[in-house]
Structure 1
Amino acid sequence: MRAPRFLALAAAGVLAVSPAACGSATEAADAPQPSASGGFSVRDPWVKAADKGMTAAFGTLVNDGSADVTVVAASSPVSPMELHEMAMQDGAMVMRPKQGGLVVKAGGSHVLEPGGDHLMLMNLTRPVRAGDEVTFTLTFADGRTTDVRAVAKPFTGAGESYAPSMAPR
């Protein structure tokens, strides 16, 4: 498990991006987001602001339930989405789809962070600007879903780039 503080998020069906007042969107997104999915929530969800191309979503997936859960998909009307990881390949760090989904152990958490596991928003159809609220629907291996709201934030990060050349197919 990675040290928290860089946040994470997961997604899968409906994503709505709309301008929101920073105060109210931030307060709503910073609170742990309860779920209809039995003790699952996302703590501190956020999205890296971007005008076009690709961006990513982050936060901490929290499972207070008694059984492991696996997030298997993420999608959105404003952008196709994929679950991604950063991994060593041929001596270089590369971004690639996360095989098997994002497993959150019972009573545990899973951090989505820049330079690690994250949710990719591919080929944005409109800008995601700082202060926008982004709503995601996460899909679990058993078919259940849960909605998550995240605020878009400016972030230059540790030099990672969410460019097509980093996502080999």
Structure 2
Amino acid sequence: MPSSITGRLLRPAAVLSAAVLAVSVAACGSADDSSGPTATTSPTASASTSAAAGVLGIRDPWVKAADKGMTAAFGTLVNDGDADVTITAATTEVSPMELHEMAMKDGKMVMRAKQGGIVIKAKSSHALEPGGDHLMLMNLTKPVRAGDELTFTLTFGDGRTQVFTAVAKPFTGAQESYAPGHGEPMPGMSASPGMSMSPTS
């Protein structure tokens, strides 16, 4: 067959193959986009959680600045996975740490160790915040000044670990004092809602 005729026959076939391939790729992209966890989250949340590249996404981590004694780390933990995740321990270089919660006792808000660890349900988020669950720094070996960056390591129930960094900020919202003693009332904390729970920038 003359080459000119062969060329005319092959060109439509090539165009048709390219069109079929393009449709197939587009279909795969649509399926992936609609089923992915970021399809229902905001661009900001997506960027924050994916940047962690670990077991959990960690949004807005921060530490209460303190000169000595105790303080705590906070943030929002995001679990985009299909299974619950349990934090069983946390460590940092400037202090031994424990997982803590706030709970009602005799009509007062008290701080105590979080039994069983901190659970982040599948496809959900869990806030670490003043007045709630938090990562407790028990005995600072040096002051934590506003602007300092601390590195933390989380250990999970299945043995995996994850490192994240949090910046120290001044905080006066609830006037809480992380006093020694589990289950003791925290001065300035009350059971009433509406306390300010935000660090000052």
Normalised by the shorter chain, which TM-score bucket?
Answer: 0.7 to 0.9
- 1:159 Cα deviation from its structure 2 partner: 2.0
Q: Which residue of 2 aligns with 1:12?
A: none
> 88, 102, 116: which is aligned to 1:100?
116
Whether the 8 Å contact between 1:84 and 1:96 is mirrored in structure 2 is yes
Which has a greater percent of strand? 1
CA distance in 2, matches of 1:133, 1:76: 11
Which has a greater percent of helix? 2
- 1:48 Cα deviation from its structure 2 partner: 0.4
**Mind listing any 5+ residue stretches in structure 1 that lack a counterpart?**
1-29
Equivalenced residues, count: 137
CA distance in 2, matches of 1:81, 1:167: 16
CA distance in 1, matches of 2:119, 2:107: 26
- 1:140 Cα deviation from its structure 2 partner: 0.4
- 1:41 Cα deviation from its structure 2 partner: 1.1
The answer to whether the aligner puts 1:87 opposite 2:103 as a matched pair is yes
CA distance in 2, matches of 1:122, 1:138: 16
**How large is the Cα RMSD of the aligned pairs?**
1.6
Q: Higher relative contact order at CA 8 Å, sep ≥6: structure 1 or structure 2?
A: 1
Q: Which residue of 1 aligns with 2:156?
A: 140
**Mind listing any 5+ residue stretches in structure 2 that lack a counterpart?**
1-46, 185-201
CA distance in 1, matches of 2:183, 2:64: 17
> 140, 144, 162: which is aligned to 1:124?
140
CA distance in 2, matches of 1:78, 1:35: 25
Q: Deviations over 1:113-135 (max 9, x none)?
A: 01111111011000110001111
Q: Which residue of 2 aligns with 1:58?
A: 74
Q: Which residue of 1 aligns with 2:90?
A: 74
TM superposition score normalised by structure 1: 0.76
Whether the 8 Å contact between 2:48 and 2:57 is mirrored in structure 1 is no
Q: Which residue of 1 aligns with 2:173?
A: 157
CA distance in 2, matches of 1:114, 1:70: 20
Give me the identity figure in percent. 73
- 1:74 Cα deviation from its structure 2 partner: 1.2
CA distance in 1, matches of 2:80, 2:147: 29
Q: Mark the CA change 1:90 to 1:105 in structure 2 (over 3 Å): closer, same or farther.
A: same
- Report SS of the residue matched to 1:74: strand
The answer to whether the aligner puts 1:36 opposite 2:25 as a matched pair is no
